Amino acid sequence: MRDLAGRVAVVTGAASGIGRALGRAFAAERMRVVLADVQRAPLEAVASELRAAGAEVRAVATDVAVADQVSALALQVQQAFGRIHIVCHNAGVFAGGLSWEAPLSDYAWVFDVNVWGVIHGVRAFTPLQLAHGEAGHVVITASMAGVTSAPFCAPYYMSKHAVLALAETLHLELAAKGAAIGVSVLCPELVNTRIGDSDRNRPEHHKRGGPSHAERELVETAIRNSTSAGTDPDAIAARTLAAIREQRFYVLSPEGDPWRDACHARLDAIRHARNPGPEVPGS
């Protein structure tokens, strides 16, 4: 997909961070952009910003953890534009702590958004992309956490490994079907986003229970304090656009980056049947 002008892009988790940057990047390509997020006010603010710059933008409040809401989003986009070309399943949250001490609500919430949110999106949008027969692309946001391992982050790391596997499977299935739809899995390094403040969007039914343990405080404080020094989301969006144009599946941190080195170390450990590291930066 070289010429994106006039085509339709959908981005979830679009009210902040990587999602907002993807929305801006697609708008700059003169695409028609649909932004979705559970945060209504910030979502409208992003949409207003892009409209002021001349983009054709729609904002649809959507909780990706709820299948019916994602299906409604897909139907609304189809009814409005008739064609859906690029879909970015990007919404994500973070929770840390020891695997045996993390409350079940952490696992449930992280999986509801990071895994089930992508499953709902793939089920709702991919059939519509296939139906119109035009070239398209699916972007699934994982993380370098999806190709590495680390302590104190089990719900998050598990979720990112899961969507990496889903993305690989989707890529193989669409290729087997001869579909003109590419797939990319976005695995960024630490990015300057508010993922360390994910609790601001935690629903009441997944309210965190139990005492706060040292490891939880350690990792969540580290995430909150370090993201401001992370990669600019606009750079991640540019990386993603390049992958879409090149029909490239893996969108990883650059060679020489510590996270890429950690990925190589993990792959070497698997190849040689060595015990896990950890090799991720700061672990």
Contact between 17 and 41 under an 8 Å Cβ cutoff? The reply is: no
Q: Cα–chain-centroid distance for residue 269?
A: 27
Task: Assess whether 107 carries a catalytic annotation.
Answer: no
Give the CA-trace dihedral at 56, 92, 189, 191, to 10 degrees: 60
Residue 87 host element (H or E): strand 86-89
**Partner residues linked to 88 by β-bridges:** 11, 139
Classify residue 68 by burial, with Cβ atoms within 10 Å: 0-12, 13-18, 19+. exposed
d(CA 149, CA 143): 11
Residues with Cβ < 8 Å from 1, sequence gap 6 or more?
7, 85, 86, 135, 136, 137, 182, 244, 245, 247
Catalytic annotation, pick one of 107, 156, 157, 250: 156
> How deeply is 176 buried, as exposed, middle or buried, from its count of CB atoms within 10 A (0-12, 13-18, 19+)?
exposed
Instruction: Let me know if 57 is exposed, middle or buried by CB neighbors in 10 A (0-12, 13-18, 19+).
Output: buried
Contacts of 78 (CB under 8 A, 6+ apart): 84, 128
- Please list the active-site residues: 156
